[in-house]
Amino acid sequence: MHNFVFHNPTKIIFGRNTMDAIGPEARIWGQRGLLVYGQNSIKSNGIYAQVAASLQAAGMEIAELGGVRSNPLLSLAREGIRLAKEHRAEVIIAVGGGSVIDTAKAIGAGAMVEHDVWKFFTGKKGIKQTLPLATVLTLAASGSEMNSGMVITNDATLEKFGFGHRLLHPKVSILDPEATFTVPPDYTAYGAIDAISHVLECYLTTTDPDTPVQDRLMEGLIENAMTACDRCLLDPHDYHGRANLLWTATLALDGLTAAGLGRVGFPMHLIEHSLSALYDVPHGAGLAVVMLGWLQHHAQTAAPRIADLGKRIFPAIEATNANLGAAQTIDGLRRWFQRVKAPVTLGDLGIPAGDIPRIAANSKGLARLWRLQDYAPERVAEVLHRCL
């Protein structure tokens, strides 16, 4: 195990009837707030009214920015920055999933500077301060509610970049499983797949051969993401199923899973970011396809590690041969993806094989920023050919 520092400053308020805490919690950081949310779902399911009432009862003055898409856009973040400055916002309140929270993080950082917020994502500028952020989570998926990362798509250049900084941690996040009852089946599954991918990338890109504590933690999170997702699809109002999936997705990328692993990478996210930037596919759907192709590619050099994972999460796997065990593990994931009605090929996403060179070329800029030197466009193309 490598040396590490684990510090996560986000306060989590978890459980039933916790959304009313958003007003008092946000008011700690200021009276003037910017409320950021997605499309119309939080208004139709009553979450908006509950949050608005709590903020009003806390005596807050609120401006609003709605319309965040599932692949959040730089143009809307820029509009939010303008609005935050105009309103003299002291705190940002995000109500939604990872896309809403990522947009709110970009607004909070961009509102403190005069330069364009995209410069943070391209590494041309560093964050020195941000507006505090409070969140109400409505989707189990990205882990943005308890981590220091944000992802945004530049709708002018069709580049989807991710950036992390310790100041981007939310101050507080409210996780009420009942707020996820109305998440539709496809996005429930996509969220679970996103969580699985976060864990798998840590699990399979570490070069440390002796991390049993982290291994058992990560294997358990993957297994629980699948079983909890199954429960939610069977009964969308299964409180404990939703609670387990919500907490699993948060833990999957809060920094704990990677502690002690040394340097890890996110090659699946690198490739998927190009898919969703160019074709606006749901992030979890793109990851399902990329994950299967990347695992086949990675199995050429890491079959024993993939086989070990399979023995933990798929008890029926008994192969003693590492290559066979790895193949059975990948097949087990594919069959589960198909069971939850996630796509498993580029064709399922409506992306033709002839577009692979374009996708691979699009990944080049982010590979440079993320220091994934091993993932030149040629290698990305090799992975994508295994996604056909």
Domain spans of the chain, in order of start: 11-179, 185-385
DSSP secondary structure letter of residue 264: -
Query: pLDDT-derived band of residue 40, with 50, 70 and 90 as boundaries?
Result: confident
Residue 369 has pLDDT above 80, yes or no: yes
State the average pLDDT for the chain.
97
Our CA dihedral for 126, 130, 136, 140, rounded to 10 degrees, sits at: 10
Q: Check residues 27 and 320 and name the one with the higher pLDDT.
A: 27
For residues 161 and 182, what is the distance between their CA atoms, to the nearest angstrom?
29
| Topology of domain 185-385, CATH | Dehydroquinate synthase-like, alpha domain (1.20.1090)
Alpha helices in 59-184 (DSSP H): 74-87, 98-110, 118-121
Share of the chain above pLDDT 70, in %: 100
pLDDT of residue 101: 98
Mean pLDDT score, 256-270: 96
Smallest Cα–Cα separation from 222: which of 312, 338, 147, 148? Answer: 312
pLDDT of residue 246: 98
The model's pLDDT over 114-165, given as tens digits with 9 standing for 90+, comes to 999 999 999 999 999 999 999 999 999 999 999 999 999 999 999 999 999 9
- For residue 63, give the amino acid letter: A
Residue 320 has pLDDT above 90, yes or no: no
Query: pLDDT-derived band of residue 47, with 50, 70 and 90 as boundaries?
Result: very high
- For residue 202, give the amino acid letter: C
pLDDT of residue 240: 98
Query: pLDDT-derived band of residue 373, with 50, 70 and 90 as boundaries?
Result: very high
pLDDT of residue 318: 80
For residues 366 and 368, what is the distance between their CA atoms, to the nearest angstrom?
5
What's the pTM?
A: 0.96
Work out the number of other CB atoms within 10 angstroms of the CB of residue 258.
23
Domain 11-179 sits in CATH 3.30.9.30: no
Mean pLDDT score, 173-182: 98
For residues 223 and 90, what is the distance between their CA atoms, to the nearest angstrom?
40
